[in-house]
Amino acid sequence: MAGKVVVDITNPLNFETFDSLTVPSDSSAAAELSASLPDSRVVKAFNTTFAATLSSGTVGGLPTTVLMAGDDAAAKSQLAEVVTAAGLNAIDAGALSRALEALGFLQISLAAAEKLRWTGGFSVVA
């Protein structure tokens, strides 16, 4: 995987209880993946987007937004090109330390509690 862009789509949450992430509060699955693949270019993306909104391309009538976090600007730019070519919005959310896993956790928790539909999600209006 050396030199390759690796996209981490995971949400490391406890699926038995839906009450916590399974990584330390000062870390993320993306950070752990990056540490295990030191010669790869890790980007966190798609974990805050349900499959239905990726497929439809919309959230509440607005274009689906894919948030991306990573430490390699070129890798994020490459991924953004793929995302926008699919008709979706891409937003660079900053460094990999902002792995966005808490937002993914919130979205999944709300859907599991039937407070948000699995076809719904968050949209960013810029």
Q: Residue 58 in 3-state DSSP?
A: strand
Taking the model in full, what pTM does it have?
Answer: 0.87
* Ranges of residues in the chain whose predicted pLDDT is under 50: none
Query: Average pLDDT, whole number, for the chain?
Result: 89
**What sign does the CA torsion over 14, 15, 18, 21 have?**
positive
- For the record, the structure tokens of 37 come out as 């693949």
